[in-house]
Amino acid sequence: DAGVTQSPTHLIKTRGQHVTLRCSPISGHKSVSWYQQVLGQGPQFIFQYYEKEERGRGNFPDRFSARQFPNYSSELNVNALLLGDSALYLCASRSDGTDTQYFGPGTRLTVL
Amino acid sequence: QKEVEQNSGPLSVPEGAIASLNCTYSDRVSQSFFWYRQYSGKSPELIMSIYSNGDKEDGRFTAQLNKASQYVSLLIRDSQPSDSATYLCAVNENYGQNFVFGPGTRLSVLP
């Protein structure tokens, strides 16, 4: 079975621009979470979605938004990019009845 | 604010030795705990989860949980150079909504 997939792998943007990151969960997984990992730190929780509804939100500004589609894939959008948004963005999925999360390969975002 | 703390390392051990990684957490209601391994430039991969007090063994890995002390550890026996990575401790909060991660401990296994 395919694991969690994310696209793109790498992305370079300039300050003020907007970015959309995409994630497809493991087949059968309805829950998708997004994390930001700055170099040298652990991942920080951004959002969790389940059945297209937001179930949790971390301490991130409103410039960050997300949504989940009927096929359980998800998008993370970041507006008005700042230099500090440069990070590895991780998507994780889990199946119903468990709390074990499996991570995708991540999207490396660089903001110049 | 709920926190997860780990020794930042780096922790260096010789090949074949036991590596001991430690993690403490602040939220007493946390119920599930996870160890992930992350190689440089890669995403975290699950090593094991633990839910009950005591030890849980999986191959060369043993997780230990003490909820009274709010402490979880990971032992790696017969450490190999391929075990050199950053080890992330994650604690489940909000009954499954999201994980809180520690900063990770960098492990270096010397040949």
Chain A hits for B1, CB-CB cut-off 8 Å, are none
- What's the CA gap between B68 and A50, in Å, rounded? 32
Q: What is the mean pLDDT of residues A21-46?
A: 96
List CB contacts (< 8 A) between B27 and chain A. Answer: none
pLDDT tens digit sequence for B14-53? 999 999 999 999 887 788 999 999 999 999 999 999 999 9
- Rounded CA-CA distance B44/A103 in Å is 6
Percent of chain A with pLDDT over 90: 92
Q: With contact defined as beta carbons under 8 Å apart, do B62 and B72 qualify?
A: no
Closest by Cβ to B103, choosing from A42, A45, A48: A42
Asked if residue A59 has pLDDT above 70, the reply is yes
Q: Is the separation of the CB atoms in A77 and A66 below 8 Å?
A: yes
Chain A residue with minimal CA distance to B49? A100
Which residue from B34, B45, B98 is facing A48, i.e. has the nearest CB? B98
Cα B58 from Cα A34, distance rounded (Å): 28
* DSSP alpha helix (H) spans, B1-111: none
How many beta-carbon contacts under 8 Å exist across A and B?
51
d(CA B72, CA B92): 13
Q: In chain B, which residues have their Cβ closer than 8 Å to the Cβ of A33? A: 98-99
Alpha-helical (H) ranges within A1-112 are: none
Q: What does the pLDDT look like over B50-109, one tens digit per residue? A: 999 999 999 999 999 999 999 999 999 999 999 999 999 999 876 666 789 999 999 999
Contacts of A43 in chain B (CB under 8 A): 44, 88, 99, 101
Nearest Cα residue to A103 out of A36, A51, A39, A54: A36
pLDDT for B93 equals 74
Closest-CA residue of A relative to B95 is A99
Tell me what the mean pLDDT of segment A14-35 comes to. Answer: 97
